Amino acid sequence: MAHAAPTSGRLRAARRRAMARQVRPVRTPDIFDERVHRIARFAIPVVLGLVYGYWAAANRRDGGPLTGWNVLFGFVTAIAFIALCIAVATLAPLLQRELHSGVKSAFAGAAVGFLYSQTGESVLRSTALGLAVAVAVYGVFFYRYYTREDAEGNRIR
């Protein structure tokens, strides 16, 4: 059986200090400044809203010709999505973790259900799909907030 070679006390102390330095958590740098975060707070919902509006209009068109009403429907849908997305992103963090998760999951479920309803499927199937998505998103968000907050609801950093 092999044994470790004896070392001097100074060498052991130096190793312990080196190990102590390695254990300290290293904080990742924030490469984006506050201005970038402020712009992204509104740019991301706008881009998502435009994609969502185009997707809803394409679902409603169902491969038919592009009309002015279809374009108008896409833009109105995009504006509604953008307004709701910004409202949810602004107001949901002020709520407790259960309501926070509920608001975000209700928004996601309603968005998916509306998109599915534009394909011509029945209202019951659209509702069922929206509810299934909302339940799944609620589970994910609740777990995320539950594991990253203390008992009072403060974020753990």
pLDDT at 63: 81
Give the list of residues 6+ apart from residue 53 with CB closer than 8 angstroms, or none.
Answer: 74, 75, 76, 77, 78, 79, 81
- How far apart are alpha carbons 135 and 114 in whole angstroms? 16
Q: What is the pLDDT of residue 96?
A: 85
Cα 153 to the chain's mean position, in Å?
19
**Do 156 and 150 contact (CB within 8 A), yes or no?**
yes
If DSSP codes are grouped into helix, strand and coil, which group holds residue 4? coil
**pLDDT above 90 (res 151):** no
Residue 3 above 90 pLDDT?
no
Q: What is the DSSP letter of 64?
A: S
Mean of the pLDDT values across residues 98-119? 94
Show Cβ contacts of residue 114 under 8 Å, excluding neighbours closer than 6 positions: 56, 126, 130
Q: How confident is the model at residue 95 (pLDDT cuts 50, 70, 90)?
A: confident
Q: Write down the pLDDT at residue 91.
A: 93
- How high is the mean pLDDT of the chain? 85
* pLDDT beyond 90 at 130: yes
Asked whether residue 62 carries a pLDDT value surpassing 60, the answer given is: yes
Q: Which residue has the tokens 């429907």?
A: 73
Q: Are 126 and 117 in contact (CB under 8 A)?
A: yes
Burial class (CB in 10 A: 0-12, 13-18, 19+), 61: middle
Average pLDDT over residues 92-103: 89
Q: Where are the domains of the chain?
A: 34-94, 96-157
Q: What is the pLDDT, as a whole number, of residue 84?
A: 96
- The pLDDT of 67-72, averaged and rounded, is 93
Give the model's pLDDT for residue 86: 95
pLDDT at 71: 93
Q: Supply the pLDDT for residue 33.
A: 81
The model's pTM: 0.74
Exposure string for 74-93, b = 16+ CB within 10 A, e = fewer? beebbeebbeebbebeeebe
| Percent residues over pLDDT 90 in the chain | 54
